[in-house]
Amino acid sequence: MALTIGVDIGGTKIAAGVVDEDGRVVEHLLRATPARDPERVAETIAEAVRELAKEREIEAVGLGAAGFVDETRALVRFAPNLAWREEPLQKKVSALVGLPVVVENDANAMAWAEAKFGAGRGETHLVCVTVGTGIGGGIVLGGSLYRGRWGMGAELGHMQLIPEGRPCGCGNLGCWEQYASGNALVIEAKEIARADPGRAARLLEIAGGTPEQIEGKEVTDAARQGDPAALAAFSTMADWLAQGLCDLAAILDPGCFVLGGGVSTAADLWIDQVRESFAATLTGRGHRPVADIRLAELGASAGLVGAADLARIR
C-alpha cells in the first residue's frame, strides 16, 4: 500500500506521521518547533521525515503550515506564529529529504482529512471550521479543496461581523473570531464577571478571585458546575458561531459543517445551541435543507493526515 508522510507544523510542536491510503497513521512522532529560526524549522521537519522513512518506501511528503500558502503550494508567504515571510518551504524540505513535497495551509489539510476520512465522509460540499484561540477553516466544494485564486481562501475567522467591532490581530475590526473563538469566550466571561461578580461567583472562585485570572479552562470548569456567568459566555459564543455559519451557508450552501479545534472538547456545552440558533437564523429557513453541523472525528491527527493525502494528488 502506498505511503506518504504528513507533517503538521505548529508554533510550538511539529507532528509527523506515516499515513496509508485509508488515512491510517502507521507511525507518529513529535518534535518541538524552533519557531524563531526558519532554517532550523526546515531541518527539524527533515529530521522527522528521515526518521519515519527508514526502511519504508515513501511516495511524497505533505506539510501543513499555519499561514498563507501560495497558489503553487510551495511558498509560505506569512505565518503569524513562526518566522516565515516568503519562505520557500517546499524547496528547502524537498532538497533535504530527496522526496516530492507539497505545502498546504493546516486548516485546509484538516478539512480535507475530515472530508475524506472523518466526519464529512460522503459529503461533496462541506465547510470545516476550527474553533480554537481564533477561527480557521477549510472548504471542500464538488469533492475538491477550494483554495482561492492565490491559495489564501477560507480565512473564515476574518469575516467582518461587526463594523467598528473588537480589534483583531489581522488588523481589521469586528472579525468573526473576535466573537466566536476561545479568546472570545474568555473575553465575554471576564466582562460578565466584572459587571456582575455575584453572577460569576463560582467562576471567580475557580480562577483565583479576579476576572483578570480567568482563562478558557476556568470558564469550562465553571460552566460544568453550573456557574451562570460561564454558561452565559458559552451561550453568547454559540450564537455568534451560529451567525457565522449562517453567513457561510448563504454563500456556499454546503451539505454539512464540521466543527473542530480546541473549543470542541467542550462541545457538550454549546453544540446543541449552535444547531438550534443556526436553524432559527438561516436565510430562507423553512424553504431549504438545513446543513448538518457535525463535530470533527480525527482530532489532533487531522492536519497531518490531510497533508499526507494531499501529497498523493500533487
pLDDT digits (tens, 9 = 90+) for 13-37: 999 999 999 999 999 999 999 988 9
Structure confidence at residue 144 (pLDDT): 96
Q: Does residue 81 surpass a pLDDT of 80? A: no
Residue holding cell 503550494?
73
By C-alpha distance, which of 139, 244, 257, 272 is closest to 184?
244
Domain boundaries defined on the chain: 3-112+301-312, 122-296
Residue holding cell 460561564?
230
Structure confidence at residue 205 (pLDDT): 97
- 3-112+301-312: which CATH number, 3.20.20.80, 3.40.50.2300, 3.40.1170.20, 3.30.420.40? 3.30.420.40
Distances (CA, A) of 311 to 19, 22, 90, 119, 243: 11, 14, 12, 21, 34
- Mean pLDDT is lowest, of 45-54, 61-70, 75-84, for 75-84
Q: Does residue 298 surpass a pLDDT of 90? A: yes
Amino acid at 20: D
Instruction: Count the Cβ atoms, other than its own, within 10 Å of residue 150.
Output: 11
By residue count, the chain amounts to 314
Q: In what order do the strands lie in the sheet with 76-78?
A: 68-69, 76-78, 85-87
DSSP single-letter state for residue 12: S
Question: Where does the chain show beta strands of DSSP type E?
Answer: 3-9, 13-19, 25-32, 58-65, 68-69, 76-78, 85-87, 101-105, 126-131, 135-141, 144-146, 256-260, 292-295
Rounded percentage of the chain residues whose pLDDT exceeds 90: 91
Q: In what order do the strands lie in the sheet with 126-131?
A: 144-146, 135-141, 126-131, 256-260, 292-295
Structure confidence at residue 218 (pLDDT): 97
Average pLDDT, the chain: 95
Structure confidence at residue 295 (pLDDT): 97
The fold for domain 122-296 equals Nucleotidyltransferase; domain 5 (3.30.420)
Q: Kindly report the CA angle at 275 between 272 and 280, in degrees rounded to 5? A: 125
Fold agreement between 3-112+301-312 and 122-296: yes
State the distance between the two ends of the chain, measured CA to CA, in whole angstroms. Answer: 18
pLDDT band at 143; cut points 50, 70, 90:
very high
Structure confidence at residue 87 (pLDDT): 96
pLDDT band at 1; cut points 50, 70, 90:
low
pTM value > 0.85 = yes
